[in-house]
Amino acid sequence: MHPLLTLKALLLPCACLLLLGCASPPTAVKVEQLLKTGQSWIGTPYTWPHGKPEFTVVKITLPANTALKWHTHPMPNIAYVVAGELMVETEDGLHKTTLKPGQVLPEMVNTSHRGTSGKAPVELIVFYAGTPGMPLSN
């Protein structure tokens, strides 16, 4: 192999790597507040459970076109929609909302409700703030 060909073959990848390194500098850290509240999405004020705090974070994947069973939560919790579209409604039919990816929902405490997925699966991250031994839902 000709030495110039070898040199050219090495210079091209090096030039590409150099250009990649010269790309715009990393941007500053961005902080976006998604939620700050003391009440659920239907306006009920939260009360903090008594006792030693215990935080639980779960990932929930709900298949497309699926409704969860009616349930309640005994503690404050916040749901973050990672993927899909989730419709949440109260059992009494008075409240209904639809969430899309990137949105959060401060869930209700001791109010029966359920979530229903749309045409695509839903992926949620839910943050629970309770006490040791407290169930996440009933």
Over the stretch 70-90, which tens digit does the pLDDT of each residue have?
999 999 999 999 999 999 999
Please say if the pLDDT value at position 12 is more than 70: no
Establish how many alpha carbons lie within 13 A of residue 54's alpha carbon, considering only the half-sphere containing its beta carbon. Answer: 10
Contact 125, 57 (CB under 8 A): yes
Tokens found for residue 73: 């939560």
Total-model pTM: 0.78
Contact 111, 44 (CB under 8 A): yes
> CA 108, CA 78: separation in Å to the nearest integer?
9
Please say if the pLDDT value at position 15 is more than 80: no
Q: Please state the rounded mean pLDDT for residues 49-60.
A: 94
Q: Please state the rounded mean pLDDT for residues 104-131.
A: 97
Task: Identify the pLDDT of residue 6.
Answer: 52
DSSP 17: H
Task: Identify the pLDDT of residue 5.
Answer: 47
Share of the chain above pLDDT 70, in %: 82
Compute the Cα dihedral for 20, 24, 29, 31 and give only its sign: negative
- The CATH code for residues 54-130 is 2.60.120.10
Tokens found for residue 129: 């703030």
Please say if the pLDDT value at position 22 is more than 90: no
Task: Identify the pLDDT of residue 4.
Answer: 46
Task: Identify the pLDDT of residue 129.
Answer: 95
How many angstroms separate the first and last alpha carbons of the chain?
Answer: 74
Q: In one letter, which amino acid is 61?
A: T
